[in-house]
Amino acid sequence: EPIRFLMFSASLRKESLNTSLVKLAGSIIEKAGGVVDHATMNDFDCPSYNQDEEAESGMPGGAQEFKKRLEACHAFIISSPEYNGSMPGLLKNAIDWVSRFRPQPFNEKHALLMSASPSMVGGNRGLWSLRIPLERLGARVFPDMFSLASAHHAFNEAGRLADEKLEKMFEDNLSDFMNLVEAASHYPCMKKH
Ligand code: FNR
């Protein structure tokens, strides 16, 4: 059975560097035999979280869609911009909505986090803030996180990383993650998928 990966960028920007990175990751994973479900934050669009609204109207469509697509995958991959040293509020808001479902859809899901930024740190600080809610919700967040620095200069015309050594590091990061998810899929707790 092929391993299914839900992947999305946490940026809505048309020319998003994170979207470029997640697309490249998707093509590498497909080449290696994985099945990819590309989502966007538009698919998971949610109003600002409000517990009254939840009680009155239930879960918004975007949260239901996020849950459905999480449940259909073995693992998920997020490429997230760093906003002010943290994750974008949009992403945290969607996570907060989804965290209200029972069973809680992030629990036991493998996750790989990546980021892209024009800065020299590549948005890596934002990923440490993203780990906190995901791990709190039981996601198995992969230790290695790929952060693409100077991302506005990093891609070639084919959408690959112009620096071959860096591209190889990225491919290795993805294949390490794929191998872990593959191995874990044989454990009974994953059989429900
Ligand atoms: C940023 N940016 C940014 N970059 C960074 O490396 N560290 C940071 O803390 C921030 N903070 C920040 C806050 C806000 C509100 C914005 C709009 C931007 C810059 C950011 O990395 C850059 O705009 C990226 O291009 C955003 O990712 P996408 O949209 O290209 O995927």
Q: Is residue 84 in contact with ligand 1, taking CB distance under 6 Å?
A: yes
Q: Whose C-alpha lies nearest to ligand 1, atom 13?
A: 83
Q: Do 91 and 78 meet the contact criterion of CB atoms below 8 Å apart? A: yes
Instruction: Indicate the average pLDDT of the chain.
Output: 96
User: Whole-prediction pTM value?
Assistant: 0.96
Nearest atom of ligand 1 to the alpha carbon of 84: 9
Q: Whose C-alpha lies nearest to ligand 1, atom 7?
A: 82
CA distance linking residue 175 with residue 171, whole number of Å: 6
Give distance in angstroms: CA of 18 to centre of ligand 1: 10
**pLDDT value at 190 more than 70:** no
Q: What is the ipTM of this complex?
A: 0.99
Q: Is residue 128 in contact with ligand 1, taking CB distance under 6 Å?
A: no
**pLDDT value at 193 more than 50:** no
Q: Whose C-alpha lies nearest to ligand 1, atom 26?
A: 81
**How many DSSP H helices and E strands does the chain contain?**
6, 6
pLDDT (tens digit per residue) in 36-50: 999 999 999 999 999
pLDDT (tens digit per residue) in 102-151: 999 999 999 999 999 999 999 999 999 999 999 999 999 999 999 999 99
Q: Whose C-alpha lies nearest to ligand 1, atom 4?
A: 82
CA distance linking residue 142 with residue 153, whole number of Å: 27
Superfamily of domain 4-190: Flavodoxin domain (3.40.50.360)
